[in-house]
């Protein structure tokens, strides 16, 4: 329906926190709390439809207009650079993208640095900005293993509490970018559903202001 806002939420812990914020802002959808494996929920009262989406897929749904709005981590936005509007920093899911290596290890400047990461685009841009040539190794998870097994010299990954690094005898070398969850919008939807999107945007901003 034309006046419904279709919103892609990142499945998982961050998504639950994001939904709580939307609910407090007056965009609740009680059905979403019911257990089960359903992925689409709507509230006729609040004219919203929510989808649970794999976090890294949120920008795809929004960029292609399958969702009008979505919430994605800045890490995902930096990696996939979707053509969407970034409307608001929700201040949730705060962490950082960082380069880490084995504790105390000295890196030899005369050899090409081997960097293991899930964030290949971010890594390429980051090292290009430093004018440094690197050997990028794309992995899909458990990135911390790479330097331990000698697959790479460093990793570029998400660091939240730092526990994963610590428990694997790794340490942060450089911070690449701060990360938090962002509200994003499909460009055409933001024009066609401007009134509804603006209403959500200001309700979320007010809610964030209140909890500051």
Tell me, by CB under 6 A, how many residues bind ligand PRP: 12
Q: Which stretch binds ligand PRP (CB under 6 A): 35-43, 79-87, 160-168, 202-210?
A: 160-168
Comparing CB distances to ligand PRP, the nearer of 10 and 82 is 10
Residue 164 is a binding residue for ligand PRP (CB under 6 A): yes
Q: Beta-carbon neighbour count of residue 13 at 10 Å?
A: 10
Q: Which is nearer to ligand PRP, 34 or 161 (CB)?
A: 161
Residue entry with tokens 């097994």: 149
Please, which of residues 1-60 interact with ligand PRP by CB under 6 A? none
Q: Which of 160, 169, 198, 206 binds ligand PRP (CB under 6 A)?
A: 160
CB 12 to ligand PRP: min, Å: 9
Q: Judged by CB under 6 A, does residue 79 bind ligand PRP? A: no
SS (H, E, C) 63-106: HCCCCCEEEEEHHHHHHHCCCCEEEEECCCCCEEEEEEEECCCC
Distances in whole angstroms, Cα of residue 193 to Cα of each of 16, 49, 60, 181: 25, 14, 19, 22
In this chain, which of 163, 209, 210, 211 binds ligand PRP, going by CB under 6 A?
A: 163
Based on the shown chain and the rule CB under 6 A, indicate whether residue 81 belongs to the binding site for ligand PRP: no
Phi, psi of 120 (to 5 degrees): -65, -40
Which segments within the chain are labelled E, that is strand? 5-10, 40-43, 48-53, 69-73, 85-89, 95-102, 113-117, 134-138, 154-159, 170-179, 181-185
Q: How far apart are CA 123 and CA 167, in angstroms?
A: 24
Binding mask 117-146 for ligand PRP (x = CB under 6 A): ------------------------xxxx--
158 binding ligand PRP? (CB under 6 A): yes
Interface residues with ligand PRP (CB under 6 A) are 141-144, 157-164
């Amino acid at each position: 329906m034309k006046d419904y806002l279709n919103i892609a939420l990142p499945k998982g812990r961050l998504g639950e926190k994001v939904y709580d914020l939307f609910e407090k802002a007056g965009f609740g959808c009680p059905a979403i709390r019911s257990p089960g494996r359903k992925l689409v929920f709507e509230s006729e009262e609040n004219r919203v439809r929510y989808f649970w989406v794999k976090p890294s897929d949120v920008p795809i749904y929004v960029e292609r207009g399958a969702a009008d709005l979505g919430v994605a981590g800045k890490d995902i936005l930096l990696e996939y650079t979707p053509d969407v509007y970034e409307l608001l920093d929700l201040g949730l899911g705060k962490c950082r993208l960082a380069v880490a290596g084995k504790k105390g290890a000295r890196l030899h400047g005369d050899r090409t640095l081997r960097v293991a990461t899930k964030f290949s685009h971010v890594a390429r841009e980051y090292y290009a900005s430093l004018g440094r040539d690197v050997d990028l190794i794309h992995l899909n998870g458990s990135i911390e293993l790479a330097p331990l097994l000698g697959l790479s010299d460093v990793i570029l990954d998400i660091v939240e509490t730092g526990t994963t690094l610590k428990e694997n005898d790794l340490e942060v070398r450089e911070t690449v970018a701060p990360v938090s969850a962002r509200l994003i919008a499909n460009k055409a939807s933001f024009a066609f559903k401007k009134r509804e999107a603006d209403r959500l945007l200001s309700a979320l901003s007010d809610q964030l202001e209140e909890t500051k």
